[in-house]
Structures are given as C-alpha cells and as structure tokens.
Chain A
C-alpha cells in the first residue's frame, strides 16, 4: 500500500544474552489516528518482529504494566496516542531509574520490596469478626485517603523523580504515598509501625517537593502531596518523641 501513511518508532533494544549494550531499532508502522503507542508496538510484534519484548495487559490504563519512556517522558503506552506525535518519529525506551531486563522490560524487584516494606495493609489491635458488620467510615473519612488508593503501581513517578535517580534506596513516591494512604485510613492503627520505615531514609527528608512525580502520575495520586503530608506528621511525632528520623538531624 504505497500511499498508506506511516509513523516511525525508534525502539530501545537490549538482550542480555547477546547484546553488549543497548541499541535502537527503527520500525515503520502504519499510521492510525485512533492507535495508542501500545497498538503500534503490538503491530510490530505481531507482524514484523516477534522478538520485541515489553509488558502490557489491560490496554485501558488500569493494570499499570505498560509504562515506558516515550520521547523522554514516562507514560503509559496504552494511554498515549500516535496522533500526539505524528508525523514526527517516536522514541520508545524502558522506564529510567530501573535496571533493564530486556528491551522495554525493567526489573521491578526493588519496587516490590519497597511496597512491601511500608506494610501496606490494615493494622489493628482489635480485629472485628465479619459477623459484626463493616467498620463504619464516613464519606469524609473516605475522602481523606481515597486519592492515595488510586495508585496503579505503574512506576512512572520513579522515572520522574530526581531523588530516586541519585539514591536507589529511596522508598520513592508510590510506596510513600501508599504508606500514607493506610496511615490516613480511619480503620487503621499502624501509623507508628509504618512511619518508622517511611521516615528512616534521609531521602524522604531530602525530597524537596520537586513534584515531578505528581506531574507524571496518570492517576492523579499526587504522591508529592502525600510525602509532604507524611513529613509533616512525622515531624509532629518526632517532637512527641515517637519517631527517630535517622536522616533528619544531619
């Protein structure tokens, strides 16, 4: 089809079994204005190059699998359209600030450990039996933490955060926002246990409210706001003598 419009994708390739370092491969893809970048990548995999490797599933912006750097910005590839770039080429790379496993697949072990470390579950001394019915929670109490429940673990904020880039151990925006989510939940009593972990690293205190994490977040979680609020409560507790923020005093 000679007069069919095409768009060029420049895709980062790296295979640990054969490549000494990363390279870019260029693909011409039929241009369809309804397509998201993920559709174009799927087209490549199905029709020209089955070796191209990436993660995806829901294609509706909710499973959090398909984060990539698209023209240097962290994006969900299922939520960004070719028409936003056409006729210019699109550069596609794995999320930055993570080790690369292969092509666009990054290693998320560290992220998973960070999530787990902040104890993201309801902690209570007295657990009701289900026969006693639900814990009551007013709409206002729900609104208090609801925004911070919206995180899809896409990790775009980790790619945007300068602190994550320089200090890989930093718990990072999503994990801190999740810890904050449970701290703010009226059903939870785990604040002390969680804050110890959340505030242990100096990076929390080093987070200068650059706010890039909140800018790139596709779900309006506002992790930067969560971190600021968490720091405020930590400082309060510090003065009450509960928490020893190890990095804080330096």
Chain B
C-alpha cells in the first residue's frame, strides 16, 4: 500500500456494470465538458451484468400498454414498490431499450425487422426484449464499447473502492486501491454515483459471480445512508444444483415446464392456474403456472420438498425443468446458452433430457435508499442499478425488469449527478486527501502489516481465516434468512452475524504485499458482506408479516396496516446492530389488492374494476 495520489473529476461513478456505464454515457453525451470517472474493481466487461440471460422488459408491441406493465410490476412487488417510480420506469423503458438498439445491441428480430419480445414470469403480456439468451452480455458489451467513443470518460479499471470520502456532509469521492500497484488513490468528484451491483455472495448458493459482495451498499451504509427493504431477497426457482448457475426464466417463457418426481406439473396445486397442454398454441399462458412470479415458484418448491415430491440428487432435492418438447431448433435459436450451460455444468443435454434445478439466491430487491433521481440522503451521493432501491421492485422483482431498471435509473442518476456537479463546483480537496491517507493507513495497519486489529478483545495475536468466517456467514444466512423464516431462525442469524463481525476484527490475511493483493480485497469484501448480512437479518426480524419474497412462518399474512412500508436499516457502529425505521410506500392509482396469478392475463377486466 503506497502513498495516496489524487485524481479529480466532475462526476465519479463507482461501478462499471450496466448501471455505471449507462450513467457514464448519459453524462458524457449530454455534457462533453464534464470529466467523468468510472472506477471498477474489474474491467467493465467482467461486471456481473454480463451473466444476465433472459431479457429486458419494455412495452413496444401494439398488444401491450404502459398500464399493463405498471400493473404487473405493482402486483409483482406485492404492492411494496413505489408507484410513482414504477410509472416513470415503465414509461421511460422503451426509450432506453431503443437507445441500446441504436448503440448496437443485437436484439433478436422479427421477419419485418422489428425487435422480438418473449413472455416472462409474472408479466401479463410478452414484452421482454432479448438477445438470444445472453441479453446482459450483449447489453454490457454494447454499453462498454459505446463508452470507448467518449474522450471525457476516464476509466479506473481494477481499482477497488474501499471507502467514501465525505467532507462537511457532502460526498466527494472514494478511496480506491489500484490493484496492480497496491497504491491508494483519492479519486474525487463533485458528485458520486454508486453502481456497485448486488450482494448475492452473502449466500452460499447463488447465481451471482464472485464480485457481488455488496461493497457499495456497505460503503454508503457506513456513511449514514439507509439500506432500504433489505429483507427482500429473490430466490430464482431454476438454478443448477451444485454450482448455482442460472437457467434463465426465458426457458419457461419459451415453453419449458416444471415437473416433480412423478412427472407432474406440480405448480397447478398452488393457486397458479391450470396447465395447458405443452402443444397447445396458447402455452405458455402468461402469469400462469411456469410463468408465475419467482417468489411463489421458489416457495412452492419448498412445499413440494416437504411433501416428498422432489427428486434426490447429489446436491440435494431438485425438480425437473423439461425443455425437450421445444425441439433442438428452437433451443438452439433462442436458448443456446442454456444448452451450453446445462451440458457443461450439469452434464445434461436439454434437447434429450430434463434439467435438474432448484431455487437459488439471485437478486436483491433492497439496497441504497434513493429517490426517483437516484439521489441518496447524503449530499452529492447518487446510486443506481442493483445496489440501489428506488423502489420499483418492492417485495419481489419481476424477471427482466432489472436490466431495464439499470438503464432507466442509471441514465437518470447520471443526469442528476451532472446537474449537482455543475451547481456545486467547490470542495475541500485537502480534507479528502487526508481521509484517503487515513484509509491507506488503516488498511496497512489492519491487514497488510499485522493482519490483526490491535485493541480488540482477542488482542494482536488473534487470527481468523477469511474463508472460515465466510463459510459461517453463508451457513447462518442460508439457515436463517432463506425462503421461509421465523423469529427463532432470524434471531439466531442476527446473533451469529454479530459474533462474526466481532471475529472479523482479527481476520488475518496470508498476503502482506502490495501488487494485486486479492487476499486483501477478499477481506475487505467480507467486511462489506457482513454489514449487508446484518442489515438483511435485522430488517427481516423486524418485519412481522409475509409479503412477496419475505415469508414468515410465524406471521403468515400480509399486514398492510402495519407493514405497507419500506424498512430502513441505519448503521450504528462496529459493535451495535442496525437501527430499523420505516417510511411509507408511495401509492398513486393502484391500491393494495390481492395478488392473483393463473387467470392468464395481468390486468383482467374484473381486476381493473376492483382497482
């Protein structure tokens, strides 16, 4: 860890995934005079947006309407999404996806040259744009390649942000380690946008890549910004056992079915509608059966398991995702990556055999509390993408809304941050540099030089291995904050995480050098994850109802009277649990109703009348 150097820009974006790159282009294009910095701990095209498969939702076809997309999203969120945010999101979505088209994204096409759309879970109309089953990959590369056109974007690739720099109540930069040299840099901006993605790696079995550790959530949280709705965590119903690699919902959108050990389409037993024959031209019917929402499908899996209807595999119970009736040609055209992944990682060719799948931790509905412009409660700090919570996803995100969300709110956060930067040009560089210097010293002292934190109960000699603490965190989170929760499981998890946070103070790393020290970054990531884990567990403990992805065995009903509210977790200090507060959900035109699936369409006439 060398001495720190200072780099100044107008807007600093932390994160080079879909959200960060969209924000960067929004600023660079509109304000060629502004200098934009993009800090990313991996090269941008390695960001986990690259792994998104199924598609991105936006109303584009004549059989669809904004109203329908809004209603699907509101009901999908179990009424916890803010309706002003959802309405804005739905209306800006088509523009953003067309913009991506203009930037070269190879969307699948119809014979007339217009873009193709496919059905997706919880969506009453087919509106999910796709680039075969590598939509996130193509979006990310299109965005990244487009950024290369702008001279006013400076990239700090492989720079690991470890702390926000805040002076006089305003966020003006981050301390970041240049991995190659180990040098600490103070990267300053007049406005900062956090785009660091989700935190799936808090859990052991996840679709998320190694880099998704909640870094930005923790950094903002530690500066006093609330983490909102952290108890809402999405399990995707179809992950590959063992690795957790995702088999996209698009495979069900294309007509794949889920069956239990009796070959029975068990979803019909759980209020998700009646199955159509797989050869029926109407199959798959929207908002029905396999195209139900993810929270319900994952919960149903557990119930089937309890009934003894799942199939035993080396990696625990599974059900079968059967695509065989789609035929080789359709699989190759629209789901080639699914075929490749199933062959490579499950040893199964879906053209000939059903794919074993089980629910897998996938997505964070919660995150850094922002308003519609991406602004947080900390002046100068904005957030967008999966690390942020606006909230359009509420208690359950609909598949394919997230890729669109990161474009819509990435662009908006970019525009607002640019305005803020122009209106607030001056900040105190010396104070920020001093903070970066302190951060550099902290990291040297706690990790590089001794590997221990002096002054803790265990003293200088203590030592904990990163992997040991991480494994125990995984176990606690899976055990206590999984698909079904109760007071006991959550209390145990809260206690365990508190214990791990304490033991983390004496974590010892093996690597005491500077250059590309990934042992150090793994330790810092573990620290971020423990913060996020604690926010999840406490938010979940306090929410005494069941809604969307948060299902309490001891409070099984939705309780709008007490909990039609966003939870806010505030960081207190290194030894205390977060403080949980609440704020109201914005309801505009769609009063809370019953979430119904299985009628085949989203906004049926009948529901329209009752809302």
How far in angstroms is the closest Cβ of chain A from B480? 23
Tell whether B245 is near chain A: CB-to-CB under 8 Å. Answer: yes
- Residues 61 to 80 of chain B near chain A (Cβ within 8 Å): none
List residues of chain B with CB within 8 A of the CB of A149: 106, 138, 141
**B45 A153 Cβ-Cβ under 8 A:** yes
Interface size on B, residues (CB 8 A): 61
Pick the contact of A134 from B98, B510, B511 — CB < 8 Å? B98
Pick the contact of A119 from B111, B149, B211 — CB < 8 Å? B149
**B515 A121 Cβ-Cβ under 8 A:** no
Pick the contact of A139 from B95, B104, B111, B340 — CB < 8 Å? B111
- Residues 1 to 57 of chain A near chain B (Cβ within 8 Å): 15-18, 34, 45-47, 49-51, 53-57
Tell whether A122 is near chain B: CB-to-CB under 8 Å. Answer: yes
Tell whether A210 is near chain B: CB-to-CB under 8 Å. Answer: no
- Residues 123 to 146 of chain A near chain B (Cβ within 8 Å): 127-128, 130-131, 133-139, 141-142, 145-146
**A137 B113 Cβ-Cβ under 8 A:** yes
List residues of chain A with CB within 8 A of the CB of B276: none
Interface 9-mer from A61-69, A157-165, A197-205: A61-69
List residues of chain B with CB within 8 A of the CB of A45: 518-519
How far in angstroms is the closest Cβ of chain B from A68? 15
Pick the contact of B134 from A17, A62, A130, A141 — CB < 8 Å? A62
Number of A-B contacts (CB under 8 A): 158
Q: In the complex, which of the residues A45, A56, A60, A121 has the most CB atoms of chain B within 10 Å of its own CB atom?
A: A60
Q: Which residue of B lies closest to A142 (CB)?
A: B109
**B48 A59 Cβ-Cβ under 8 A:** no
List residues of chain B with CB within 8 A of the CB of A105: 516
Q: Which residue of A lies closest to B207 (CB)?
A: A60
- Once bound together, how far apart are the Cα atoms of A204 and B242, in whole Å? 44
Query: CB-CB contacts of A99-128 with B at 8 A, as 1s and 0s?
Result: 001110101100010011001111000011
**B344 A61 Cβ-Cβ under 8 A:** yes
Whether A134 touches B101, Cβ cut-off 8 Å, given contacts A49-B510, A149-B106, is yes
List residues of chain B with CB within 8 A of the CB of A146: 106
Q: Which residue of B lies closest to A127 (CB)?
A: B102
Whether A130 touches B98, Cβ cut-off 8 Å, given contacts A102-B516, A136-B113, A185-B104, is yes
Whether A17 touches B515, Cβ cut-off 8 Å, given contacts A60-B345, A62-B50, is yes
Q: Which residue of B lies closest to A43 (CB)?
A: B467
**B515 A62 Cβ-Cβ under 8 A:** no
**A57 B515 Cβ-Cβ under 8 A:** no
Tell whether B146 is near chain A: CB-to-CB under 8 Å. Answer: yes
Tell whether A182 is near chain B: CB-to-CB under 8 Å. Answer: yes
List residues of chain A with CB within 8 A of the CB of B210: 56-59
7 pairs of A and B residues whose beta carbons are closest in the complex: A50-B510, A136-B113, A46-B467, A50-B519, A57-B209, A120-B145, A51-B511
Binding site for A on B (CB under 8 A): 42-43, 45-48, 50-51, 95, 98-99, 101-104, 106-115, 134, 137-138, 141, 145-146, 148-149, 157, 180, 209-211, 242-243, 245-246, 337, 340-341, 344-345, 465-467, 509-511, 513-519, 522
New contact pairs (5) apart from A55-B42, A136-B114, A149-B106, CB-CB < 8 Å: A60-B341, A62-B137, A102-B515, A121-B149, A138-B111
Binding site for B on A (CB under 8 A): 15-18, 34, 45-47, 49-51, 53-65, 79, 101-103, 105, 107-108, 112, 115-116, 119-122, 127-128, 130-131, 133-139, 141-142, 145-146, 149-150, 152-153, 178, 182, 185, 187-188
